[in-house]
Structure 1
């Protein structure tokens, strides 16, 4: 049987989500992505480059309720300059099961702690005895508009032999941000801490729409 299993509690697309987030913009080396052991097999050797994104998201409102996530989009892959979410962790099993079924997004469920103080977010991902990711991000200054019209997302995902194409649309208000601390367990998540981001943005608030994908088997 192709494709992910339908969840017991299914929330079909489109999804409209609201929240806040952090976007770190990179240009990762082709060799590093193409040879990385954690990159999905269907993308091996296909990396072309372009902008890559590390995103941390705190959804206040979604069809499955509030949840948090960490995700990586390394850049563009052959053919068709497609983008893929290669790694994504959320703290909601409902989000995991629906994300796999609706869009082929390879979510896994783990604890995520997100603490905010004035001008600073501290985010931890993973079990307490086996942390995967920890960061402190500061932000300040004036707000400016942020939109997928400027940095579009054209996602291609494969899950259990089924392909999904999705083009999320989102917008919000951003402030310039800075990494104060970043620690990653390289056995569980690609260690982007060895690279300096081109740009870091705190986006709050934002809205994003995940439409029904086009699928192929």
Structure 2
């Protein structure tokens, strides 16, 4: 089944495989994350991201090799915990996210309220240094990435792969995603940047073998407000999930707006 723009419709649950790089970050206080680009300006209604409670945040880069909509790349910004009308305590929220295909974009917005937009991804591994360079840019300006990172192995430490899954983490990773505004332009409609009318609540799961690497260089933003120019407390340690990692995105629970 496809939508009116010939984009495949793939409802959850999703079972995917891939590899990932996690860049932990820790906003040290208050609403420090509420800078231009922390949430994409086209997606959320005014005031919906004001109740920020901090906590461990994350930039996640994922290369999906298999799943209901095929291979695609993704970068996720999850600043930390936010207040939600559907739980007594705050929950995590994805506030900015880019993917490389329209199928991933449309279905993520429609079924999980993840505010996806299109981007161009590039991954280069140096044969001489072993460093991996990751860049993400808008399709219109591929030469001006809004995310740039270089990661490398840590001697001995990076050779040790540790079996793990997110169910073992001492964090409540249930996501509470507010409803989205549609990008009401011909290009937005053609890309699948649909709006939604309910909050969505779901608990993704990830498992596989992971190892620690070192981030030797990282830059965020390019001044246009579509990705934060500054992200508080990005750490030098990167958690690298090996190829073959499994990801599960369950059916979300739609919540009527209060």
- TM normalised by structure 1 equals 0.88
Gaps of 5+ in 1: none
> Structure 1 residues 87 and 75 mapped into 2: Cα distance closer, same or farther (>3 Å)?
same
* Cα displacement string for residues 63-119 of structure 1 (whole angstroms, at most 9, x for unaligned residues): 111111111111111133211110101111110001011101100011111223564
> Quick one: which of 122, 128, 153 aligns to 2:133?
122
Matches within 5 A, 1:62-211: 62-79=67-84, 80-117=89-126, 119-126=130-137, 127-139=141-153, 140-149=158-167, 150=169, 151-158=171-178, 159=180, 160-185=196-221, 186=223, 187-192=225-230, 195-197=233-235, 199-205=237-243, 206-211=245-250
Distance 1:191 1:73 in 2: 15
CA distance in structure 2 between the aligned counterparts of 1:92 and 1:110, rounded to whole angstroms = 8
User: 1:70 touches 1:90 (CA, 8 Å); kept in 2?
Assistant: yes
Consecutive aligned runs of 4 or more in structure 1 exceeding 6 Å deviation = none
Aligned residues, how many? Answer: 212
Distance 2:200 2:5 in 1: 15
Length-normalised TM-score, structure 2:
0.75
Classify the secondary structure of the residue corresponding to 1:191.
Answer: coil
The structure with more strand, counted as a fraction of residues? 1
Cα pair distance change 1:194/1:216, threshold 3 Å? closer
What's the RMSD between the two structures over aligned residues? 2.2
